[in-house]
Structure 1
Amino acid sequence: MDEHTISFIGTSATDFATECGIIMRNICPMNYHTWESVPEDAKTLMYEKLEGKFELLRTNTIFMEYVNARLHAQWKRTRGKWSEHWKKNGGKTNPQLARSKRKSDCPIQEWNHLCDYWELEKTKENIIAHKQAALDELNSKGITITTTMEHQLEKEAIKSVCGRKKTIQSAWEVGVGPVLRKKDSWMKSVAESSQRDSSENESLRNKVIALEAKQKRDKEKYERCLSSLAQSFQTLKAQYP
């Protein structure tokens, strides 16, 4: 380690990068899709593995920032290589085939996590594109799109896209949400995004109707009270002229 730059240089830097790659492939959980979201205990384990071959100044903040940056770079590089392998083997057109062609240096559990993520990301893109195409068509005809209409278009887009992807269809029912796999839970928010606005508007309308009904009942009660008082007054007036 270079004492002036507080980093590894030369062959040490190469060896350090190589070891980071090995640790990343064998230890780092890939079901977290940003480096910041990787748990600290997982990162600590990676530091400990590095300490077996390199001197890590764990108390030196600047040096540990360097180590973290190198691990982050290797994390991006590793995921990028695996993603390219998935795409090269038909991930965007035949995800099941791509899943079956796991990259040899990727543990099977991590590969399945990543394939799930990539497949859903592609499906989400298709749903958004399908919905936008439907919106554009209605706009071109001069049709005013209401919140309810937009919600319906989202449901139709989900049903259309997922119907072409049996692996997703088995875990999704429009208007119900994920029924088998938790990893499909993002779809529920896609379908509910505009439904929430519609529900809020409906709730507000119901409150207005309820207030109007209450106002009407109060008015009728007030009128009955006035009528009763008038009758009582007439009775008293007749008894005591």
Structure 2
Amino acid sequence: MLYLLLEDTFDIDVENSNVSQVIDSYMATTWRGHRDKLHDHIKEIGGSDDLTRAKTTPPSDIMKEDWEYLCDLWSDKKYLEIAKKKVMAHQNENLIVEMVRRV
């Protein structure tokens, strides 16, 4: 659908694999940034501590159903366990980099 809109709006060949890769890359980067802002919002309003409040306080730029889905996702125990492991792994990577710099 997005590709059709792009083709209608711009003189662009979305069938070209290089063009589609660039578009996909930009879209992924944009989504990650937006998702991070949404995740920051849920943390600011209480997040998993008060899921009801979080679900009833969506940002203005997201549909209620999508926001509720993300709230459920970000408060899910499995998600939180994986997120915690990723944070710890990232901290370990930073520690290793710092140790290598000192050598």
Q: When the two structures are superposed, what TM-score results if normalisation uses the length of structure 2?
A: 0.68
Whose RCO is larger (CA < 8 A, sep 6+)?
2
Other-structure match for 2:17: 61
Q: Report matched runs for 1:158-197 at 5 Å.
A: none
Q: 1:108 aligns with which of 51, 60, 64?
A: 64
Aligned position for 2:39: 83
Deviation of the 1:54 alpha carbon: 2.3
- Specify the structure having the higher radius of gyration (Cα): 1
Cα distance in 2, alignment partners of residues 91 and 52 from structure 1:
40
Give unpaired runs (5+ residues) of structure 2: 82-103
| Alpha-carbon contact 1:91-1:98 (below 8 Å) kept | yes
Q: Which amino acid aligns with 2:29?
A: A
Q: Which residue of 1 aligns with 2:26?
A: 70
Q: Hey, what's the Cα distance between the residues in 1 that align with 2:11 and 2:24?
A: 14
SS in structure 2 of the partner of residue 106 of structure 1: coil
TM-score by length of 1: 0.31
Q: For structure 1, which runs of at least 5 residues remain unmatched after alignment?
A: 1-44, 126-241
Cα distance in 2, alignment partners of residues 49 and 91 from structure 1: 35
Q: How far has the Cα of 1:118 moved from its partner?
A: 0.9
CA contact (8 A) 1:92 1:122 kept: no
Q: How many residues align?
A: 81
3-state SS in 1 of match to 2:28: helix
Query: Counterparts of 1:64 and 1:48 in 2: how far apart (Å)?
Result: 12
- Inter-partner Cα distance in structure 2 for 1:123 and 1:67: 28
Distance 1:103 1:49, change over 3 A: same
Q: Report the 3-state secondary structure (helix = DSSP H, G, I; strand = E; otherwise coil) of the residue aligned with 2:13.
A: coil
Corresponding residue SS for 1:94: helix
Q: Deviations over 1:81-124 (max 9, x none)?
A: 11111111110321211111101000111111111111114785
Secondary structure of the structure 2 residue equivalent to 1:93: helix
Over aligned residues, Cα RMSD in angstroms? 1.9
